[in-house]
């Protein structure tokens, strides 16, 4: 999966070299990055969440798309946390 992150970096480089850095292209790349980070797991999601708060590092399209990682993942982590606590305490987990 890390190869997908590398391929993403190459695509960004090619976009930059070809001069194709339109807002629509950046939006598509931002969606692609969010998808890659989500598939790579919680550590990379956390990195994306951190980047979503850094307008000095990312264009606006990326900030908006990476902010989705904060909205979408919170419920999952809360449910997972409850599951782990119940598992450790020996109680049955209920959704």
- Is residue 49 included in any domain, yes or no? yes
Q: Which of 18-32, 56-70, 78-92 has the lowest mean pLDDT?
A: 78-92
Give the residue numbers spanning the domain of 76: 2-89
Q: How many domains does the chain have?
A: 1
Per-residue model confidence as pLDDT tens digits over 18-51: 887 788 888 999 999 999 998 888 888 889 999 9
- Is residue 94 included in any domain, yes or no? no
- Is residue 16 included in any domain, yes or no? yes
- Is residue 13 included in any domain, yes or no? yes
HSE value, Cβ hemisphere, 13 Å, CA-based, for 20: 11
- Kindly provide the b/e burial profile for residues 6-44, where b requires at least 16 CB atoms within 10 angstroms of the residue's own CB: eebeeebeebeeeeeeeeeebbebbebbbebbbebeeeb
Average pLDDT over the chain reads 83
- Is residue 85 included in any domain, yes or no? yes
- Is residue 40 included in any domain, yes or no? yes
- Is residue 78 included in any domain, yes or no? yes
């Amino acid at each position: 999966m890390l190869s997908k992150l590398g391929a993403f970096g190459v695509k960004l480089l090619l976009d930059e070299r070809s001069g194709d850095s339109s807002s629509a292209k950046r939006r598509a790349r931002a969606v692609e990055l969010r998808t890659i980070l989500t598939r790579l797991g919680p550590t990379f999601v956390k990195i994306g969440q951190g980047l979503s708060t850094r307008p000095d590092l990312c264009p606006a399209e990326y900030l908006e798309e990476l902010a989705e990682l904060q909205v979408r993942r919170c419920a999952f982590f809360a449910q997972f946390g409850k599951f782990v606590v119940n598992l450790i305490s020996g109680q049955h987990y209920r959704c």
